[in-house]
């Protein structure tokens, strides 16, 4: 009982720290943004700031540590489309431990969150409005433009956080971008974020070990006829590796 109360007290201070870090991060981005428009078209400096923000947030979780496994699977000097499982609110800060530049394809609703949404826009991340075909076409065009400049794209193909930890059904949007641009898809697995901050919970577990597992790239099919099989193959690979990794994690 005492430990549970202590966890909640620490969680309150952690969330205050998260709010302050996010506010400071957004202010730093706002100061840098005019300069980025002149000398940093791809807003790489803004992504570095975002990475610093993500790492700061993870440091606020008591005893938390992050391990990146499989960095050797990343192609050299070539953009990819990262496809990752979605477990928790802490997924995004954890994924900022990945090396290199990338842009998120994120739900358009996130861009309307005060302060945080403005930071997403300034960093050049890509809003995706569900159920709007016209907006979907625009998002795909934006993503292809980013890839053409040598910058990777990051997607959560499930579209939302899992309630059980099991991989949900994959949406096809990001995979259509991979097909149209013939960009390899690199599956990424997060292990431990659900344990750190489960869905429908607000306080952090202590001493959680987070893993970011990068799997070998998978080449999309040459035409749309193989798209369904390709999505199935990516999901099957991720599910099998997740189950295996979770057993080792425990």
Phi and psi at residue 188, to the nearest 5°: -130, 135
pTM to 2 decimals? 0.89
Measured distance CA(169)–CA(146) in Å, rounded: 26
The CATH number that applies at residue 192 is 3.40.1130
Per-residue tens of pLDDT for the chain, all 250 residues: 666 677 777 778 888 888 888 888 888 888 888 888 888 888 888 888 889 989 999 988 888 899 999 999 998 889 999 999 998 888 989 999 998 899 998 888 878 877 677 778 888 888 888 777 777 788 888 899 999 999 999 999 988 877 777 888 898 888 999 999 999 999 999 999 888 887 777 778 878 899 999 999 999 998 888 899 999 999 999 999 998 888 777 6
Residue 46: predicted pLDDT: 87
Residue 229: predicted pLDDT: 95
Residue 107: predicted pLDDT: 81
Is-contact 164 130, C-beta < 8 A?
Answer: no
* Residue 148 lies in domain: 2-249
The total of structural domains in the chain comes to 1
Residue 183: predicted pLDDT: 94
What residues have CB less than 8 Å from 179, skipping those under 6 apart? 220, 221, 223, 224, 227, 230
Residue 250: predicted pLDDT: 65
Q: Where are the alpha helices (DSSP H) in the chain?
A: 2-39, 44-59, 91-95, 116-122, 133-148, 173-181, 193-196, 227-249
- DSSP class of residue 246 equals H
Residue 173: predicted pLDDT: 86
Give the residue from 9, 203, 187 showing the smallest Cα distance to 88: 203
């Amino acid at each position: 009982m005492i430990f549970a109360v202590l966890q909640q007290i620490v969680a309150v201070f952690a969330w205050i720290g998260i709010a302050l870090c996010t506010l400071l991060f957004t202010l730093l981005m706002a100061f840098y943004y005019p300069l980025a428009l002149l000398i940093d078209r791809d807003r790489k400096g803004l992504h570095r700031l975002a990475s610093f923000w993500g790492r700061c947030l993870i440091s606020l979780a008591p005893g938390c540590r992050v391990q990146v496994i499989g960095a050797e699977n990343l192609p050299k000097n070539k953009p990819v489309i990262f496809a990752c499982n979605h477990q928790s609110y802490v997924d995004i800060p954890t994924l900022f431990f990945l090396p290199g530049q990338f842009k998120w394809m994120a739900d358009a609703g996130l861009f309307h969150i005060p302060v945080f949404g403005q930071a997403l826009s300034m960093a050049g991340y890509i809003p995706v409005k569900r159920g709007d075909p016209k907006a979907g076409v625009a998002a795909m065009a934006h993503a292809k433009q980013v890839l053409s400049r040598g910058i990777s794209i990051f997607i959560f193909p499930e579209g939302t956080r899992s309630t059980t930890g099991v991989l949900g059904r994959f949406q096809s949007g990001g995979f259509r971008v991979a097909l149209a641009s013939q960009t390899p898809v690199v599956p990424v697995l997060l292990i431990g974020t659900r344990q750190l901050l489960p869905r429908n919970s607000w306080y952090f577990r202590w001493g959680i070990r987070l893993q970011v597992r990068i799997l070998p790239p998978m080449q999309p099919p040459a035409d749309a006829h193989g798209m369904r099989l390709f999505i199935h193959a990516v999901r099957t690979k991720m599910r099998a590796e997740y189950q295996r990794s979770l057993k080792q994690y425990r």
